Each structure stands twice: as C-alpha cells, then as structure tokens.
Structure 1
C-alpha cells in the first residue's frame, strides 16, 4: 500500500499484493487492467472515497464488475472493482429489481424467478447487469420488450466530483439520458433499478446446420425475419466448433451455422414459425424446446470461462444479399483466422420510441452483424480482418452498438458512430466529467 492510500478506509490493492492479479483480471483476459491502485468497493461510500482520491491526484479511473466488456485497459491510475457490490433485491409489488454494481444477470434471473418474474437479460447470464444495461442491452426478448435500458427506473451514480446522485427521468433527465447508452463516461453506477417482466417460460434453443447448407440458410433467414412477430427474437451465428469433448458429437470439430430462437408464445406456435428454417435441410443438432426462463442461457450457449478476444459490430438498415455474401467470404470458413460471426435480428420494440429517451443510437437498424476472434498476441491481425468486413458492410451500415465493441482500437476507432446525438453526449461529458477522469472506456471525449 502506498503512502497516498494508506490513510484511506478502503480495501486497497497495489501490484505487490498477492490478490492484485486475481482482482484486476476479469472475463476478458487480453491485456487486463494494470492500475497503480485497485479499490475493492463495498458500497457507494467506498466509490465516492476512491473517486475523490483519484481526483485529488489527477488520476484516471476505470471500473470493472465481471470484466466482459473491457474496452481500454488501465495502465496506471485507479481501478474500482465492484464485484463485492452484488446485492440483488426484488420488489414483486412494483415488479422491479435493484441490482448492485457487481450483480450478474444469473443472480437476477434466479431471484426474479421465485416471484414469477424475469429480467430482460442478454444471451450470457454471467454478464454484469450494470455495464450491459448502460450500453443499451440487447436482450434475448428485445424485439418484444425493447432495449434493457428502456426498462430502467432509476440509477445510483457517483460523478467525477465524488458526489452521489439518485437519478431518474424526472430528477435529472439529461444525466438519465446520457447514462443509458453512454456507459461509464459520466460516473460510476453503484446500483440500478430495472423493471421486470411477467415471464416464467419461453420456447427457445437452437438449430445447427452443416457448412454446405449455410448459404441457403442465410438467404432463408434473411427473408424469414420479415415474416415473424415481435414476440420472436432470433440470430444466426457462424461458428468453427473446436474438436474437443466439451461440444456435442454431432457438431464437434465442424464449421456450423447456429440459429438462436427465443419466443414467448406457445411451443406449438413456435414450431410453426421455425418450420421454414427446418426445411432448409438436415439439422445436425436441434435443441428447440419449451423451457423455463431460468434456462435461457442455453439458447446461445456462450462460453462461460474467461478468455482473450477482440470483436466489433455494424448495425445495418437492411440485410442485403450482397452483405451476406461479404460476411461469408471475408470472415467465413475460409478466413485466415477463426471468427465467430453473428447476424442478429433487431426491429420490433427496439425500433419504437421508449417512454424515457436514452442515448442509444440507431434504433432503426434491422440487424446487427458481430464478429469475434480469439487472440493471443495477434490482435492487430484480427482487427484488420474485422475492419475489412465492416468496410464491405459500409453501404448498409448506420453505426455500431458499444456493447459489442470488445478491445477495439480507441485511437483508430472512435465511438462517435454509436450515437445519433454525439454532440449532446460531449456537452454533458464536459459538464459532469470536465477532466475526462472516466476515460478508460469507450470514451466520449
């Protein structure tokens, strides 16, 4: 512990401490944070003390919960680790959850289910509630219910001056707007209150197709999405499956297309809706079934273990056949490095104006194309390949969503294209964080 921090009544770690590496390394393991000081915050008061300490010394501040969305690693400065702030409180009367800064979606899913409720969570239950929601939040049922941030009732946040604020659409409409979409540029959120859904089950799972059927499947998926109701949210991913026992034998070691389905209607209705996809050809593996919402993580089957990756995305106004061809050619099975590519269907409630406006941009996008590659020291090669894809998709691209930017290059790849009103974000950033203390992120500068 340094002389500057020893008088703080906080759990503080420095590079000499045994637990330093464990705390600084999150789910994203590529070049994790290496701060001068880690504060393991236990509550909002600890966060205030840490921010004031950093401000006094002119230090940058990063914040980390689960560490899934690490954008810019701290090299020096202060890292506020919020994993200990993982309280989850369900109010069944108001149908809301208040989640601490370190809470994970799986904790909310389990707690809400006891009351016949569910959150608008994403594909991976191990992701942190706060970071996901502040980025907008593509839920597995978002075509029916909108972005996760559309359901936020209130936000507790510590701003760059060390002050605590309980923010609602009525109390501070500007900050409420900026936090929902602007992520951690305007302060450190210590808790968030979110509306829950009266949902206990769904029809969902996946269909896996072999490589020779992928071109036909993608064209079928493109036309099929124009026919489905808002109650059905879907995606199709192109995945090189490793040849290891962790994967089911029918898909192990193969390059496959994985169609992901989540539908709140009946299983019988769901079967009718997906019939055009089944008719494409033989299915390697079929996991579509009625399921409790508590099993929703099985739909995407995202890897639950930490790993090293980079990724990016493009939100498209339409899914043109030429765009599909570009995806398959550039980052498909013949790509020089392995890529996981996902085409996710948007629209529905995501395109409608929410009750409380937010900074989330490009609500008129019909699809988002994401690409992720595992990396060790070859991140530049992966970034270059990804850029070539997004250059090809430029004619249909509206912008990006910051939830799907993983270890991008902040110098070559500024994040202004994620917003419809970036100038307003810059103005509010100047008001709430004039020294850009919170810059170790997808930065509004």
Structure 2
C-alpha cells in the first residue's frame, strides 16, 4: 500500500548477508558483491544463495485513510475503464486496488469494488473525485476512515481489533489458510473496450465453476515511485507496469484443484492477448511458456549469469524460473 509512495520493498534493501552454494558468507551491498546484491533485489527467492539477514532503509509510518467503494455489476465496465486510466497516475500517496470477484460466495452475481489508502495531506475525496467523475455512476457504498499505520495493516490482514500476536495462521491465531489457485500479469498498457469485456466475461465465468468459493481478478496500482527506478537497476524489471494483476480462485481443502487451476490460467491466457506474458515471480506458474522471460524480461540474462557464477552446480535448483 506504500509502494507508490516509497517504492518496492526491494528498493529499500541496503544490504544482505547471503550464503552461496560453496558455503561462503557474503555481506553484499551496492558497492560490495554488487551482482549478488542486485540479484537479491527482486530476483526471486533462492536464486543465487540463501539469505540469512537483510538490512533496510526505513521511513516513518504514516497516518492512513482507508477507503472502500462498491458499485452494482452493471457499472463494472465503466469502473475498470476509469480505474486503469486514473490509478497508476494518481498522486503517489494514493494507492488502490480494483477487485472483480464471483463464485459461490457471491450467489447474486459478481461484485466490483475499489479500495485503497491515502497517506497524503487533505481529504481523500479530493483525490477520488476525478475517478468517480470518470465512472459516471454513483457508488452503492462509499466509506473512508482514518487509522494508524499499524491498525490499517491489521485490518488489511483480516485482524481488525486483534493484537498483532493473534494475526497468524498458527496456534492461537485468528486467521485460517485457504486452498487457492493463482496466476499473475504485469500489464504496461490499458485494456481496450473489447479487452474490458473479455475481463468481465471471465469474472462472470466463475459462477459456473462448481466448488469455486471465490474467484476473479484483482488489480493493484503501480506507478509512482516504482516507475522512477530504471528497469536495469534491480532484478525486478517491471518498472513501467500499470498494475500488478492477480487471478485467483479459492476452494475447499481437499478438492481436486484442476478445475480451479484451469480457471485462473485460462483467465490469464485470455488477458494476455492485450496484456502480454509478463508475470510476477512470487506467483510461481508452471504453465508459462517461458517463465524466466515472463518474470525478468531483459534482466534475465544478467540474473542467469550471476546465478551461474554463484552456483555453477545448481545446488539451489530453481527450475520454475531460471
């Protein structure tokens, strides 16, 4: 939620202690073992060694205004069109996510919501006004509340009113893991009118997948500080992406996942006609035709070279992306 304001987490990394396959401990920074440090900034877990500690630059935690907007499904096309034109270019201190979800959890049909956070000065309504005007349809609900940073994070995690110690899936925690299929896109272009209709049709198709608890698409705004770092400066290459897109399907534990995998992968394939094959490495997807290229683009060759030097025998095998 602060990535548009401050940049990605990997952009705040200033040093790592990393053990390479030969057992050597490296203390890598931008000026020492710089290649290892570069690879650790978005290069995927375990790509070049085992990281045993990390050092980050920090910033004061801001006060947060959380907002949430919902519309009837009839406004979904207008919401997607307006959001994709507005969210990646909004003030850096405003982050938002657009979610279009269906499935058994929504028996009346799919839902469309836009929620997010504002950490700037003034009223969040002033920031949302251009977006709402572009949608042209009044939200059926519109809520904005102020919180401390910690309280906002607990709410996002599903732990409102709970101590941080209870915000876990472990013993005594209030959270429960769910079985889920997932895939991703990192688009650099806005959808055409036809593309928006394809997206809506795929969300609506969630209603026909037996056993799909909730499924569809989430679009998390990028841009801002993320885009002001050059693509080659870190292993994370997708600096010009408009959003981080997640295709998801949740289902009951123990169910055969094939139908849900098919749903999310066919959704991604349908959107690739306009959004291309770029993907997020933390959504490991064996169905990608060229995972390394999808995850790292033009940075793949350098990452492979660093990996080969650090681990020539492929002790830390990563077949899904390198």
User: Scaled by the length of structure 2, what TM-score is found?
Assistant: 0.80
Partner of 1:365: 241
Residue 368 of structure 1 aligns to a residue whose secondary structure is strand
Q: Quote the Cα distance in structure 2 between the aligned partners of 1:148 and 1:175.
A: 17
Partner of 1:165: 26
Unaligned runs of 5+ in 1: 1-139, 244-250
Residue 157 of structure 1 aligns to a residue whose secondary structure is strand
Partner of 2:312: 434
Structure with the bigger RCO (C-alpha within 8 Å, sep 6+) is 2
What is the CA RMSD across the aligned residues, in angstroms? 2.9
Offset of residue 242 of structure 1: 6.4
CA contact (8 A) 2:295 2:321 kept: no
CA contact (8 A) 1:261 1:299 kept: no
Work out which of the residue numbers 146, 149, 153 in structure 2 matches 1:293.
Answer: 149
Q: Quick one: structure 1 residues 298 and 282, their matched pair in 2 at CA, closer, same or farther if it must change by over 3 Å?
A: farther
Partner of 1:336: 208
Offset of residue 402 of structure 1: 1.1
Q: Quote the Cα distance in structure 1 between the aligned partners of 2:233 and 2:6.
A: 15
Partner of 1:105: none
Which structure's CA Rg is the greater one?
A: 1
Unaligned runs of 5+ in 2: 160-174
Offset of residue 325 of structure 1: 1.9
Residue 327 of structure 1 aligns to a residue whose secondary structure is helix
Q: Quote the Cα distance in structure 1 between the aligned partners of 2:88 and 2:222.
A: 11
Offset of residue 412 of structure 1: 5.7
Q: Quote the Cα distance in structure 2 between the aligned partners of 1:308 and 1:256.
A: 21
Offset of residue 173 of structure 1: 0.9
Q: Quick one: structure 1 residues 329 and 254, their matched pair in 2 at CA, closer, same or farther if it must change by over 3 Å?
A: closer
Q: Quote the Cα distance in structure 1 between the aligned partners of 2:120 and 2:278.
A: 32
Partner of 1:379: 257
Please state if 1:388 is matched with 2:273: no
CA contact (8 A) 1:204 1:299 kept: no
Partner of 2:112: 257
Work out which of the residue numbers 166, 176, 196 in structure 2 matches 1:305.
Answer: 176
Residue 74 of structure 2 aligns to a residue whose secondary structure is helix
Q: Quote the Cα distance in structure 2 between the aligned partners of 1:264 and 1:334.
A: 34
Partner of 1:400: 279
Q: Quick one: structure 1 residues 146 and 366, their matched pair in 2 at CA, closer, same or farther if it must change by over 3 Å?
A: same
CA contact (8 A) 1:326 1:389 kept: no
CA contact (8 A) 2:93 2:120 kept: yes
Residue 92 of structure 2 aligns to a residue whose secondary structure is coil
Partner of 1:174: 35
Partner of 1:210: 72
Partner of 2:92: 230
Partner of 1:326: 198
Deviation digits for residues 5-56 of structure 1 (CA, Å, limit 9, x no counterpart) = xxxxxxxxxxxxxxxxxxxxxxxxxxxxxxxxxxxxxxxxxxxxxxxxxxxx
User: Scaled by the length of structure 1, what TM-score is found?
Assistant: 0.59
Offset of residue 363 of structure 1: 0.9
Q: Which moved more, 1:296-305 or 1:159-168?
A: 296-305
Work out which of the residue numbers 291, 301, 317 in structure 2 matches 1:423.
Answer: 301
